Amino acid sequence: MSTATKGGAKVKAKKAASSTKSKTTQKTSAKTKKYLVIVESPAKAKTIEKYLGHQYTVLASMGHIIDLPKSRMAVDVENNFQPTFITVRGRAKVLNALQSGAKKSDAVLLASDNDREGEAIAWHLNNAISAKNKDIPISRISFNEITPKAIKDAVSSPTQIDRAKVEAQIARRVLDRLVGYSISPILWKKVKGGLSAGRVQSVALRLICEREKEIEAWTPQEYWELFADFKTGRSAFTAQLVMWRGEKCDLKNESAVKEIIAKIEQADFTVNEIRETYKTLKPRPPFTTSQLQQTAANRLGFTSRKTMQIAQGLYEGVNLGSSRVGLITYMRTDSVRISEQALAEAREWLGKHYPEDLPPAAVHYSVGKDAQDAHEAIRPTYISYTPESVKDSLSRDEFRLYSIIWERFAASQMKPARTLTESADIVSLPGGADPADIAMFRVSGTRYVEKGWTKVLSALASKEETGKSLPPIKQGDILKARSFDPQQHWTQGPARFTDASIIKTLEENGIGRPSTYAPTISVLLDRYYVTRANKQLAPTVLGRLISNLLVENFGAVVNADFTAGMETKLDEVELKGREWTDMIREFWTPFKKTVDEVAQTLESYKDRIDEPTGEVCEKCGKPMVKKLGRYGYFLACSGFPECRNAKPLPLAVCPKCGGDIVARKTKKRGKEFYGCANYPACDFLTHFKPLANQNCPKCGWFLVEKYDKRNGSHKLCINPSCDYLHEAEEGE
DNA sequence: CAGTGAGCGAGCTTCCGCTTGACTT
């Protein structure tokens, strides 16, 4: 960022000022004109200020400052859906700063993100600023990447706010308000206070509930696999049975397997022609938010929330020696686009370090159809900051997240990898009573013939990819099977959703945005609609009840296709001049009718949300029930309010004193842990969640669920000196 | 990575989408 670019900025700044249509009143000369640029993110503001030089002040709005009030509907459905917008609570300071910043400037450039929400932010800012500074010229500028060139180009070609785009945003905002604030109160009245429903969260809940139903309906089917150990020269290898009597093998039970073994036990085998298959493996595109969250969840075990917190830190900047460097580009994006400048830098760096793996031209990935494309993909800001080179300045989690971002980006600009799979069929020679009793076993090996982009992987490398080669056999070899190894399996039902898979599904359906994937999961957890154990999302009794209620009564809205339909109509507003109020009316008229009907006719669910426990109240003898309170579940007497007996939910028996193990939350962070109810007399505690009514067969202490990468999900005895441990059974 | 410790039920809540800090009692 030399003096040359600064000079360039000045020239362009003049152009920007002269092309502003609004009348200017200030008498200052063009040379000393001052501009206020408003962006959304403060970190972005800092960078842009560096690019633009001293005539420009860059401030951040930090998202929406003006919005519908939280406390009431604020959409006048009687009056053409007129919304009432107010300054968001707690944001008056920011707005004042922007307004007084405008006063000190000769012109304002609104540079909020180049998407639907950003356009609305610009519009609100425009109104709020011109209310206080009547004659100041305000224009809109936009860019899709934070590079000196993109910023200067934007400044030199200011535009006006796109009113149609703003109206599409208002329509989106009003629709979500009408849906959420109409349905939620029905839930308060019929089920329980504080509950919520909405276009996004209720579909996410529905998906999780429906998956659970599939899991429950699943009946595992038994099947078998048969492996044989062959010996050749000095080495031995294992091959799997793939065909029997000329048909694809399908072994249903043990007797089917034993029958085959009996027939081929003594047979000689011969090796058929060895087949070679080459495969080209392309690298994946750089990360979008959703992809980053999925990969971090799958590879690192991060929740989507944790991923975003750490990414935010990398984006805002890390102390590298004496300077502070933003290591990654903006982390909330739906695009895989990479700026030309970053591509050039990547190619230069890769050309130096991996010259044979540099493709002849930069690789461009196609941006998704639904993407709003306001930001680049998530990538390292400077590819030369390799993970290893900054490792000492990062926490362990920051390093791991940065590593996958860096590797995914670097790999995306490298040549494809190629693998060779060699596969040999080993066929039994007829010798038994029936000449059709032919068994075909298969063994194969895959190795890289060109490593390409996989060379750059470390954090993202998968163990299976290291390659396994074919045993030293050739066509026509005669072999004998030394032993047979039949293995029993059960077909696996569908898996529960995880953070990664629910985000993937929502994104595929166009539901939610990069900024809302993580918060949506948090809402479902906060409302006690869903639990997350061992990374798996499962509905609670309450969650299922709410989902069923919503699907039965508001099926048209609580529906994966609803958002897609909404987006189509928003496009009509934005691009085809359709009135946003017409679109909303078309939705509202039938919806409102349903809301009124349901509010009138729906029976109360209030006595259906307490779960029976089988325990009896020691004070009055009535059954105890599991209830949901402000701080989570607790156990209470069903005779309330006559009997006020209540206590925490016992989860297990304390191995130290025989008391109840109950859930508690830490004061500081509200994190759950499990301790003895007799505290402080007994100080037993653990942070592993006890499994319901399961005790160790070896020592009798209670069992907990544990998850780690090596063992996956498994049970563990809480007794530290007991070695009992085993894999959790499927479907449990 | 270490260390973690009420009472709770009816008391006013809720949406989605932008963005970062942290209440003025």
Judge if A274 and A422 occupy the same domain: yes
Whose C1' is closest to the CA of A196: which nucleotide?
B14
Query: Does any domain span residue A251?
Result: yes
Nearest nucleotide relative to A638: CA against C1':
B9
Same domain flag for A587 and A622: no
Q: Under a CB-based contact definition with an 8 Å cutoff, are residues A411 and A284 in contact?
A: yes
Model confidence at A731: pLDDT above 50: no
**Measured in whole angstroms, how far is the alpha carbon of residue A536 from the centre of its chain?**
13
Are A112 and A122 in contact by the 8 Å Cβ rule? The answer is yes
Instruction: State the average pLDDT over residues A31-54.
Output: 93
Q: What is the count of structural domains for chain A? A: 6
DSSP β-bridge partners for residue A328: A380
Q: Which residues contact A586 (CB under 8 A, 6 or more apart)?
A: none
From A457, A490, A523, the end of a domain falls on: A490
Comparing every residue's Cα with the C1' atom of nucleotide B23, the nearest one is A90
How many angstroms is C1' of B10 away from CA of A189?
12
Query: Is residue A37 domain-shared with residue A156, that is, in the same domain?
Result: yes
Specify the CATH number for the domain of residue A151: 3.40.50.140
* Closest nucleotide to A69 by C1' from CA: B15
Q: Where are the alpha helices (DSSP H) in A326-386?
A: 340-353
Is residue A166 assigned to a domain?
no
Report the pLDDT value the prediction gives residue A709, as an integer from 0 to 100: 55
Residues A494 and A538: beta-carbon distance below 8 Å: no
User: Quick one: DSSP state of residue A296?
Assistant: I
Confidence of residue A26 (pLDDT cuts 50, 70, 90): very low
List all residues 6 or more positions away from A130 whose beta carbon is below 8 Å from its beta carbon.
Answer: A136, A138
For residue A90, give the DSSP letter. T
Distance A401 CA to B8 C1' (A): 39
pLDDT, one tens digit per residue, over A373-413 is 999 999 999 999 999 999 999 999 999 999 999 999 999 99
d(CA A161, CA A118): 10
According to the model, what pLDDT value does residue A22 have?
44
Domain limit, last residue, from A585, A601, A617: A601
What φ, ψ does residue A43 adopt, rounded to 5°? -65, -40
Which of A32, A9, A158, A19 is closest to A106 using CA atoms? A32
Q: Is the pLDDT of residue A566 over 90?
A: yes
Asked whether residue A693 is assigned to any structural domain, the reply reads yes
Q: Answer with the residue of higher pLDDT: A72 or A12.
A: A72
Instruction: Tell me which of A98-107, A171-180, A464-473, A589-598 is least confident.
Output: A464-473
* Contact by Cβ (8 Å): A17, A156: no
CA of A122 to C1' of B17 (A): 15
Rounded to the nearest angstrom, the gap between the alpha carbon of residue A201 and the centroid of all alpha carbons in its chain is 14
Q: What Å distances lie between residue A236 and A198, A230, A443, A476, A483, CA to CA?
A: 60, 6, 12, 17, 11
Look up tokens 């939705």; give the residue. Answer: A587
Q: Are residues A665 and A724 in the same domain?
A: yes
Span A589-594, mean pLDDT? 98
The string of pLDDT tens digits covering residues A154-210 is: 999 999 999 999 999 999 999 999 999 999 999 999 999 999 999 999 999 999 999
Query: Distances in Å between the alpha carbon of A132 and those of A58, A62, A158, A449?
Result: 19, 20, 22, 68
Quote the tokens at residue A85.
Answer: 């917008």
DSSP structural state of residue A378: B
Residue A187: exposure state from Cβ atoms within 10 A (0-12, 13-18, ≥19): buried
Nearest in space to A432 (alpha carbons), one of A262, A271, A270, A272: A262
- One domain, residues A595 and A635: no
pLDDT at A306 over 80: yes
Residue A345 has pLDDT above 80, yes or no: yes
Can you give the distance from the CA of residue A601 to the C1' of nucleotide B11 in angstroms? Answer: 26
Both A595 and A615 in one domain: the answer is: no
Q: End-to-end CA distance of chain A, in Å?
A: 59
pLDDT of res. A7: 35
Question: Rounded mean pLDDT of A221-230?
Answer: 96
In this prediction, residue A682 carries a pLDDT of 86
Residue A527 CA distance to nucleotide B4 C1' (Å)? 24
Q: Which of A8-22, A328-342, A703-717 tops mean pLDDT?
A: A328-342
- Whole-number Å distance between alpha carbons of A341 and A1: 14
Residue nearest to nucleotide B3 (CA to C1'): A666
What does the alpha-carbon distance between residue A684 and residue A704 come to, in Å, rounded to a whole number? 14
Query: What pLDDT, in 10s, does the model give residues A256-292?
Result: 999 999 999 889 999 999 999 999 999 999 999 999 9
| Listed residues A459, A490, A521: the one ending a domain | A490
**How many whole angstroms from its chain centre is CA A640?**
42
Tell me, what DSSP letter sits at residue A71?
A: S
pLDDT value of residue A29: 55
CB atoms within 10 A of CB A491: 11
A444: domain range? Answer: 222-282+417-490
Please tell me what DSSP assigns to residue A394.
S
Residue A664: per-residue pLDDT: 81
- Protein residue at shortest CA distance from C1' of B16: A176
In sequence order, the 6+-apart residues with CB closer than 8 A to the CB of A614 are: A623
Can you tell me which residue has its alpha carbon closest to the C1' of nucleotide B15? A180
With contact defined as beta carbons under 8 Å apart, do A282 and A514 qualify? Answer: no
**pLDDT over 90 percentage in chain A:** 71
pLDDT band for position A549 (50/70/90)? Answer: very high
Q: What is the pLDDT of residue A11?
A: 36
Per-residue pLDDT, averaged over A49-61, amounts to 95
Quickly give A513 CA vs B17 C1' distance in Å.
8
Nucleotide nearest to A202 (CA to C1'): B15
- How far is A340 from A338, CA to CA, in rounded Å? 6
| pLDDT band, residue A15 (cuts 50/70/90) | very low
Of A170-179, A590-599, A641-650, the least confident? A641-650
Q: Looking at the predicted structure, is the pLDDT value of residue A241 above 60?
A: yes
Question: Given this model, what pLDDT does residue A464 score?
Answer: 58
H/E element, A665: strand A660-665
Question: In this complex, which residue's CA is closest to the C1' atom of nucleotide B4?
Answer: A666
Inside any domain, residue A358 = yes
Task: Name the nucleotide nearest A90; use CA and C1'.
Answer: B23
pLDDT of amino acid A662: 86
Q: Are residues A139 and A237 in the same domain?
A: no
Phi and psi dihedrals of A705, rounded to 5? -95, 140
pLDDT of residue A673: 83
Does residue A51 sit within a domain?
yes
Report the pLDDT value the prediction gives residue A18, as an integer from 0 to 100.
39
Neighbours of A583 (CB within 10 A): 21
Per-residue pLDDT band at A8 (split at 50, 70, 90): very low
Which residue numbers of A are catalytic? 330
* Cβ-contact A201, A215 below 8 angstroms: no
Mean pLDDT of chain A: 90
- What is the pLDDT averaged over residues A666-690? 81
C-beta separation of A270 from A426 below 8 A: yes
pLDDT of A465? 56
Residues A575 and A622 reside in one and the same domain: no
Give the Å distances, CA to CA, from A665 to A483, A627, A636, A668, A669: 56, 18, 19, 9, 8
What phi and psi values does residue A657 have, to the nearest 5 degrees?
-130, 0
- The residue with greater pLDDT, A669 or A633, is A633
A386 and A433 housed in the same domain:
no
Residue A420 pLDDT grade (very low, low, confident, very high; cuts 50, 70, 90): very high
Give residue-wise pLDDT tens across range A403-419: 999 999 999 999 999 99
> What pLDDT shows up at residue A707?
64
Confidence (pLDDT) at A723: 75
Query: Which residues, in sequence order, are CB contacts of A673 under 8 Å at separation 6+?
Result: A663, A664, A665, A666, A685, A686, A687
Query: Is residue A641, in this structure, part of any structural domain at all?
Result: yes
DSSP string, A503-520: HHHHHHTT-S-TTTHHHH
User: Which residue, A138, A105, A110, A109, is CA-closest to A122?
Assistant: A110
Q: Token pair 């009564």 is at which residue?
A: A553
Look up tokens 């403060």; give the residue. A42
Could you tell me the CATH number of the domain that includes residue A551?
A: 1.10.460.10
Quick check: A55 and A35 in contact, CB under 8 A? yes
| Of the listed ranges A3-7, A177-181, A232-236, the one predicted with least confidence | A3-7
Which residue approaches B8 most closely, CA to C1'?
A629
List C-alpha distances in Å: A580 to A75, A81, A179, A573, A575: 13, 10, 16, 6, 11
> Are A408 and A337 part of one and the same domain?
yes
What are the tens digits of pLDDT across the range A483-530?
999 999 999 999 999 999 999 999 999 999 999 999 999 999 999 999
Report the distance from CA of residue A62 to the C1' of nucleotide B17 in Å, as an integer: 12
Angle at A724 between CA A731 and CA A298, to 5 degrees: 45
Cis before A641 (ω within 30): yes
User: Looking at the structure, do residues A210 and A237 belong to the same domain, yes or no?
Assistant: no
Query: A189 — alpha (psi -120 to 50), left (phi > 0) or beta?
Result: alpha
* A454 neighbors A417 (Cβ within 8 angstroms): yes
Q: Is position A714 within any domain?
A: yes
CATH of the domain at A402: 1.10.290.10
Q: Which bases of strand B have any atom within 7 Å of the beta carbon of a protein residue?
A: 1, 3-21
Phi, psi (degrees; rounded to nearest 5) at A216: -65, -35
Q: Summarize the confidence of residues A606-614 as an average pLDDT.
A: 88
Could you tell me the strand order of the sheet in which A672-676 lies?
A652-653, A660-665, A672-676, A685-686
Task: Examine the pLDDT at A17 and tell me if it is beyond 50.
Answer: no
Task: Look at residue A10 in the predicted model and tell me its pLDDT.
Answer: 36
Tell me, in Å, how far CA of A204 is from C1' of B22? Answer: 30
* Same domain? A136 vs A205: no
How many CB atoms are closer than 10 A to CB A466?
Answer: 10
Instruction: Measuring from the CA of residue A89 to each C1' atom, give the nucleotide at the shortest distance.
Output: B23
CATH number of domain containing A473: 2.70.20.10
A167: in domain: no
